[in-house]
Amino acid sequence: MKVKLLFFVACCFMLADATAQKKYGDLATGPYKKLVIRGAMVLPGHGGPPVGPFDIVIQNNMITDMIPFDPVTAERRGATERVTGDRVIDATGKYVMPGMIDLH
């Protein structure tokens, strides 16, 4: 009897955790014609240190441009023109590894 009760309580805890999952909303939408990942540090894949920050432009699922961004200069000069797209992801303080899926 105690084993059945313990099993039932464990199942209730597992089901409660499954219903409390976060809803991602618009993060699950896409694909986008033009996606911009803004302010990301790039791991180039050759063993060197990260470089950046870069604004990475992805069009039709291909990286088309990596534009260097200097936040210190931008702060001193005021608002600067930055590339925009259908979706812009703020990746400030985050790292990306472009091209690591299709290496061959």
Query: What's the DSSP call for residue 54?
Result: E
* Domains of the chain, first to last: 26-96 (2.30.40.10)
Q: What is the pLDDT of residue 53?
A: 92
Q: Bridge-partner residues for 62, per DSSP?
A: 59
The rounded distance, in Å, linking the Cα atoms of 67 and 84 is 12
The rounded distance, in Å, linking the Cα atoms of 59 and 62 is 5
- pTM of the entire predicted model: 0.64
**Upper half-sphere CA count for residue 68 (Cβ side, 13 Å):** 6
**Percent of the chain clearing pLDDT 70 (strictly above):** 77
Instruction: Give pLDDT tens digits for 18-50.
Output: 655 666 666 667 788 999 999 999 998 777 899
Q: Which H or E run contains 64?
A: strand 62-68
Query: What's the DSSP call for residue 23?
Result: P
Q: What is the pLDDT of residue 30?
A: 75
75, pLDDT greater than 70: yes
